[in-house]
Every structure is written in structure tokens, then in C-alpha cells.
Chains A and B, each alone.
Chain A
Amino acid sequence: MKKLYLLTSSFLLTLLLFSCGDEVTQDFTVEGLRPVYITAEIADSVMSLPPQPIDQLGKIYYKDNLLYVGERGQGVHILDNTNPEDPVRMGFIQIPGNKDIVIKGNLMYADNYTDLLTIDISDMNDVKEINRVENVYPPNSHAYPDFYTGYFECYDPAQGLVMRWETATLTNPACKR
């Protein structure tokens, strides 16, 4: 009897695990995120651009009446916020893979995939990367979406670096957070 009980409970336990999505026996679809890839050649191109459309906003930073609003994985929108009733879109700093910035004087520090950049922003219309510290961030930093809970399509390094994550209907996603 004891053995039967053990067998039964392990069967039930297995069922429970299956129901958790650890394994699936038939297709299931679910809303989630999937990576949008960027090729290695342009992954380190930092530059000033005219105002860009919004896709997914990220972190915010404020200094000297300027508002820096992250565009997840792509860079930073710059807004002149002298009049908060009418913020003016000044431009965009493209920083692929970016999540965070901080500014000291006329220098912006920013992550660019695995690297830490120093960017001269004294001329906002013509910013320049002036230093790069390599391998500050681990390569897995972009393997999953930040501040997100739910299913996502697993990162495939063969396809390049993850620029951002877009919503999609996923079939049998193997990754969850």
C-alpha cells in the first residue's frame, strides 16, 4: 500500500509539474514577448538623431530642465522641459542596447550591451562617443526582458544581439520569468 501511495503521489506530482508548463504535451499559445535582433555591425553606433517615434519607453532622467526618456534598447529621447506644460522634443541619442544613463557635467555614461560608454553631450545635436570600457556587463544581460513577468521567446545568440522586446503571440514558449 505504501508503495502504491508513493506511486500515486509521484504521478500526481508529475501531473502538477506538467500543469506548470515545465513540459507540454500539446501546443499552447500565449501572449508574451519576443526578441527583436540587431546585427553586431551596428550594435555600437552612437549618434544624434532628430526626434524619433516612441515604441516602448524606459527609464527617466532629469537634469537642467532637460528630460531624458529612455527608448528601451534603442537610446534616449531628449526633451526641453523648461515649460512642463509644453515639453519640446529636441532629438534622440541612439545607443543600441541601452538601459541606463547618468550625466555628470557634459558627459553621459551609458551602457551599450556589454560596454560602458562615455558620451560627450556638450553639443546635443552632435554627440560623440569618447570612451568605451569593454565587458562591464555580462553577455547575458539582454537574454530576457527587464521588469517583465510572463512568457517570452528564448534568446537565440545565433541571431545577434537583442535590441528590444516586442509583444507577440507565442507558441510553446520555453522561457518564463
Chain B
Amino acid sequence: MKKIYQTIGIVFIAAFYLQCSVEGDAISLSNTGTSGSLAAMTVVGDFLYTLDNQSIKVFNLADPVEPQQVGNTIELDFGVETMFPYNGLLFIGSQTGMYIFDIDIPSNPRLLAEHEHFFGCDPVVANDSIAFVTVRTIEGCRGFMDFNRLEIVNVSDPTQPYTIDEFDLNSPAGLGLDGNHLFVTDGDAGIQVFDVSDPYNASIIGNIPVNAFDVIPLDGLLIAVGLENLYQFDYTEIHNITQLSSLQLRP
């Protein structure tokens, strides 16, 4: 039944709330850059992961000029769209939910879980780690299902993810996390700013009134892209976000 809802546009990011303070040496990305949340290609260490609508491929970059495919192509249900690596895990956003892979052995991603949408919440337990997922839907033929929302998912045991909270939004698409602050692009409703310091009691603490579909938060600098415009904001004071530039790129 879930499939009839014709969900699209799942993107997500994950946040890990470690007990002790560990400096971010999880992935050595010093030589690579930062993707927006809609990325479907990523480099982790010396491996390149590509995602098409229905599969993942892994390439060894031992010779960085000539990527060599390793392992088998991993077939998934049609409709996978985004990819986000974190700390030995690879999160895949699809039209029906979220896949979580273990990439401790980079050439051989191992499926740990598939978290489908529209299930009720499981009992709440103490959290170590959280994934944030946006779900955007269209009007189905069989009724006007409305599932535009942000889901907050406990992935502390990545084999047993479960939803801990949901926010109904307008048209959520891209999202970006910096520490306690989560930015969610929400179509005409602007960019929603969440305080997620306690992911069990997340709340909207601000709104940036621009229509964007993806963001990258970079230590106080928020880069937001809309179809025809690129915006930048200073969010070092989270309650006083100021626009730095708006680059209307049309001629």
C-alpha cells in the first residue's frame, strides 16, 4: 500500500551525537569538498560511489584518473535519488524510504536496514545518533495524500532505524545540518531553521523567506540554491540571520 503514495524527493542527513567529544576525523575528506544534500555521487577515502535511479556502483580511486569499478553493482528498488556518507555508513534516499549501508569495507557496501516511510513511531529509547529525512509527495490519483514532512529518525542502531518525530511542512527538499541547527528548504514557505539540540524535542526557531531547494551550511555561512538564484546568509547569530548576497544569475 505504501507505494501508491508516490513519494518523491527523499533527502536526508545524519547527525551523530557522540557521548564524548571526538574531533571529526571520521572521514578524511580534506582533499574533497562539500556536497549539497541532493548529491548522488560521493567520494569516501579512495572510493567513489555513484547512484543512478536503481543502483549503486563503487569505484576504486587508487589511480584517481582511471576509476575502476569494484564489487558488484548493488541493485535497489527504482527511485533512489540521494546519497550521504557518514562515519562508515552510507545513507541512500529513495522514493519509498531510506537505505542504510555499512561501508567499513569500502568496496563492498552491506545493507543494514531499509527504513520505509509512513510507519508509526516505535518506542523511544536513548539516542546516540539521528538521521533527518525530508519527504515530499505529489497528489496521487487515489486521493490527495499529503506527506510533506521532516522525519527525525533514530539510527543509533543502524540495523534498526525508527522515526522519533515528524514535522508537517510545505514542500521540503534539501537540508543541511550544522551542530544544533538544521536548515530545511521548504519551497514557498522559505528555509525553516530548526533547533535540534534535543532531537526528541526539535523545534522551528526561525525562517529565511527565500525559495530554495538545497543548502550547504558551512560554519556560519549558509549557501542556498533556488532554480534561478543563489543566496548566501550569515547565521553565526542564529536568531539574527542576515543575507550576504543574492546572485540573480539570469542574464
Interface of A with B (CB < 8 Å)? 19-22, 53-54, 56-64, 67-69, 77, 79, 81, 84-87, 89, 99-105, 107, 109, 111, 116, 118, 130-131, 133, 136-138, 140-141, 146-150, 177
Contact = CB atoms under 8 A, between A and B. Distances in A.
Nearest to A101: B41
B38 interface: yes
Given A54-B250, A59-B214, A118-B66, A111 B245 contact: no
A118 B54 CA distance: 23
Interface residues of B, number: 56
B225 interface: yes
A177 B8 contact: yes
B123 interface: no
A81 B141 CA distance: 45
Interface stretch (B28-36, B98-106, B124-132): B28-36
Contact of B227 (A56, A79, A81, A118): A56
Contacts of B216: 60, 62
B247 A150 contact: no
A118 B67 contact: yes
Contacts of B138: 149-150, 177
14 contacts: A54-B228, A57-B225, A57-B229, A59-B35, A60-B35, A60-B214, A60-B230, A130-B65, A136-B52, A136-B69, A147-B38, A149-B9, A149-B137, A150-B138
Contacts of A62: 33-34, 216, 218, 223
Contacts of B249: 53-54, 57, 69, 77, 89
A79 B246 CA distance: 13
B33 A111 contact: no
A123 to B, nearest CB: 16
B33 A59 contact: no
B43 A109 contact: yes
With most chain A CB atoms within 10 A of its CB, the pick from B33, B43, B230, B245 is: B33
B250 A102 contact: no
A109 B67 contact: yes
Interface centre among B41, B42, B64, by most chain A C-beta atoms within 10 angstroms, is B41
Contacts of B65: 107, 118, 130-131
The 4 closest A-B pairs by CB, nearest first: A63-B33, A54-B249, A149-B138, A20-B141
Interface in B182-233: 213-214, 216, 218, 221, 223, 225-230, 232
